[in-house]
Amino acid sequence: MIKLLIGTNNPGKLREYLEILAGLPLETLTLAQAGISVDPDEPHETFEANALHKARVFARESGLPALADDSGLSVDALQGRPGVYSKRYAGPNASDDDRMYKVLSEIEGTPDERRGAQFVCVSVLALPDGRSVSATGIVRGLIAQHPGERINGFGYDPIFIPEGYAAVFSELPPEVKNSISHRGRAAQALLPEIKQLLKIG
């Protein structure tokens, strides 16, 4: 069975990828299981460049096909911020809540019709020989006036209401969120490429 390294130190991302890839004939490995301790930075100005950088680092370090992504929240009223800086938006040691409340404070008083936003995810599969494939997933929605419950999800999920739903991401069952989320859409778009590149029937 082909081994695939899931290149993330974020437990929420890891859980989502393991759920999304569960149906494939792959042996998925976490960074800890592969003995990988490196945590690549995100030096670039686009999601795709950051995702490619991380996937290539993990593939090189492990000698295995590696899946990595870069993702973030882009808020219309903030001219697309936090965008690629979503993880670092409230400073290097900030918590999920710190980042979430920073966004809420910056658009405080903004009416719902001007609280549009989107989650973006670019997923990249990189092979040790340098080959790679990528796919992008986007989900539109709006920023809630107040955080919802953090039942599932992570990051900005408690303040993002996807189009067509009344609940925030973190209140949706995992199978529902994975079917409509930016990460789920990127992974689903990447699956045919993964199968072809790894020669999975």
Q: Which residues are identified as catalytic?
A: 70
Cβ proximity of 82 and 89 under 8 Å: yes
Which strands, in side-by-side order, build the sheet including 160-162?
Answer: 26-29, 2-6, 66-75, 116-126, 132-143, 160-162
Site of tokens 């020669």? 199
The number of residues in the chain equals 201
For residue 170, give Cα distances in angstroms to 89, 159, 161: 20, 8, 9
Beta bridge pairs of residue 121: 71, 137
Q: Omega of the bond prior to 92 within 30 degrees of 0, cis?
A: no
Q: Of 147, 6, 11, nearest to 65 (Cα)?
A: 6
Label residue 133 left, alpha or beta by phi (over 0 means left) and psi (-120 to 50 means alpha): beta
CA–CA separation, 126 and 163 (whole Å): 32
